[in-house]
């Protein structure tokens, strides 16, 4: 019975994620949602900046702290291990939904690019970025990333396999294509408002910091294998020429 309940919990968490990410596309792109990044009631500049930065900071803290191995070791003393990822997804979705709900717009445009073909190119890049995000999750096990594989394994009384280091498709060219997809989507705005610019700058900064911590965890998990990969493959952009093996960067090694 607990395994069945865990399965329904995992499914609910996954559906919550799907609804949140679909809303995020409309929120950033300013279409199809009741409240987007440039819509809503305007507030004083000071209040707007304070609230928006607080919302972004809350999401960044939740997203990073709950993903760290040390937190997981403590967290799984209270939450079953099979539900740890689904619970993370619930909290991450909640932080994003709170941001969408309470976001204060700064609608004055910083730049406007609507004339063809430049405007069409930016719209195309926006959708390309989101497509890269989704494709990247499936390349690295979409259903494990969002907790479904774990609850299904519990239902079937199976032990999830140990992580295996792989570099499918996009991962052969850049180490973090998922983050690259977000950056492309966030910055590809034909009309870039002040609020959208603030959002893009802060999320870019968060992504760069998150990569440092994530790669530290990956090095601890995969060791020399990941260090060699890091030497050959660029972080967010493809490298034209890999560095020599003797120049392996160990600056993030624990």
The CATH number of whichever domain residue 115 belongs to comes to: 1.20.120
Residue 63 resides in a domain: yes
SS3 track for 130-198: HHHHHHHHHHCCHHHHCCHHHHHHHHCCCCCCCCCCCCCHHHHCECCHHHHHHHHHHHCCCEEEHHHHH
**138 lies in a domain?**
yes
Asked if residue 245 is part of any domain, the answer here is no
Tens digits of residue pLDDT in 172-186 = 999 999 999 999 999
Range of the domain at 23: 2-240
Asked if the structure places residue 254 within a domain, the reply is no
Considering its fold, how many domains does the chain have in total? 1
Partnered with residue 174 across adjacent β-strands are 234
Q: What is the mean pLDDT of residues 134-140?
A: 95
Q: Is residue 248 part of a domain?
A: no
Q: Using a cut of 0.85, tell me whether the model's pTM lies above it.
A: yes
What DSSP designation does 251 have?
T
Tell me which residue has tokens 């760069």.
Answer: 208
Cβ-count burial of 110 within 10 angstroms (0-12 exposed, 13-18 middle, 19+ buried)? middle
Residue 251 maps to a domain: no
Cα dist from 143 to 2, 60, 89, whole Å? 20, 23, 12
| Mean confidence (pLDDT) of the chain | 92
- Average pLDDT over every residue of 229-233: 96
Confidence class of residue 168 from pLDDT cuts 50, 70 and 90? very high
Cα separation, 140 vs 69, in Å, equals 19
Question: Are 160 and 149 in contact, with CB atoms under 8 Å apart?
Answer: yes
34 exposure class (CB count in 10 Å sphere: 0-12, 13-18, 19+): exposed
- For residue 245, pLDDT beyond 50: no
- pLDDT tens readout for residues 51-65: 999 999 999 999 999
Residue 151 has pLDDT above 50, yes or no: yes
Task: Tell me: pLDDT of 68 over 50.
Answer: yes
In this predicted model, what pLDDT tens digit does every residue of 198-224 receive, in sequence order? 999 999 999 999 999 999 999 999 999
- Of 1-10, 37-46, 235-244, the range with the lowest mean pLDDT is 235-244
Residue 182 lies in a domain: yes
Specify if 252 maps to a domain: no
């Amino acid at each position: 019975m607990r395994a069945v309940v865990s399965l329904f919990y995992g499914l609910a968490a996954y559906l919550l994620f799907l609804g949140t990410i679909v809303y995020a596309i409309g929120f950033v792109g300013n279409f199809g949602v009741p409240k987007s990044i440039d819509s809503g009631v305007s507030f004083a500049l000071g209040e707007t900046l304070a609230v928006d930065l607080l919302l972004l900071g809350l999401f960044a803290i939740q997203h990073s702290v709950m993903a760290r191995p040390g937190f997981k070791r403590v967290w799984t003393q209270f939450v079953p291990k099979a539900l740890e990822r689904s619970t993370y997804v619930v909290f991450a979705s909640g932080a994003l939904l709170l941001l969408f709900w309470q976001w204060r717009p700064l609608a004055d445009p910083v730049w406007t690019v609507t004339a063809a073909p430049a405007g069409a190119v930016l719209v195309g890049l926006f959708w390309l970025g989101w497509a890269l995000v989704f494709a990247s999750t499936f390349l690295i096990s979409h259903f494990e990333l969002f907790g479904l594989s774990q609850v299904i394994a519990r239902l079937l009384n199976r032990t999830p396999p140990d992580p295996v280091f792989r570099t499918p498709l996009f991962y052969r060219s850049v180490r973090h294509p998922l983050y690259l997809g977000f950056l492309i989507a966030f910055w590809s705005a034909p009309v870039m408002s002040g609020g959208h610019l603030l959002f893009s700058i802060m999320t870019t900064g968060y992504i760069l910091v998150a990569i440092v911590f994530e790669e530290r965890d990956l090095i601890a998990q995969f060791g020399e294998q990941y260090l060699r990969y890091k030497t050959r493959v660029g972080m967010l952009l493809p490298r034209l020429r890999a560095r020599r093996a003797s120049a392996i960067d160990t600056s993030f090694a624990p």
